[in-house]
Amino acid sequence: MPLRRGDCSSWVAAGGLIFVSQHDGARIEGLTEGCDLTTAYAQHQTLAALANLEALLASAGTTTERLVEVTLTVCHVEDLESVQAAWSKWTHSLEGQLPAKTVLFSPSSTGREGCRVEIRAVAMSAPEMSAAA
């Protein structure tokens, strides 16, 4: 069952895909430690948001190896290099084909003070999850 997060679910399964709502690197209650957005630099926030993504995918019954598309929303253009460095470091841990990636520049959609990066993603459901749907 997806976690409820304010006005939406943290993820939704549909058509053999898992759609992960946009999230940042802050703690996800009962799931991840996250980071303090008011003190963490962009690279640390990015790695925390990617750890949150891994946890959300696991809660949906799938993995990072099944990612299809990732959107990174950078809230401050001066953070792009740090966000990209964290992304590059993280992708070296992935096996197989890397997901498609889009980078956008926009203020935080979560409205959390200090937020420097947000991530949303689409992944394939686990094979047994798709067969049951």
Phi (first) and psi of residue 73, to 5 degrees: -105, 115
Residue spans per domain, the chain: 8-132
With a cut of 80, say whether residue 110 has pLDDT above it: no
Report residue 132's pLDDT band, with 50, 70 and 90 as the boundaries: very low
pTM for the predicted model, two decimal places:
0.91
Model pLDDT for residues 79-93, shown as the tens digit of each residue? 999 999 999 999 998
At residue 10, does pLDDT exceed 60?
A: yes
- Region of poorest pLDDT, from 12-16, 70-74, 128-132: 128-132
* 8-132: CATH, from 2.60.40.420, 3.30.1330.40, 3.40.50.920, 1.10.3470.10: 3.30.1330.40
CA dihedral 72, 74, 77, 83 (to 10 degrees): -70
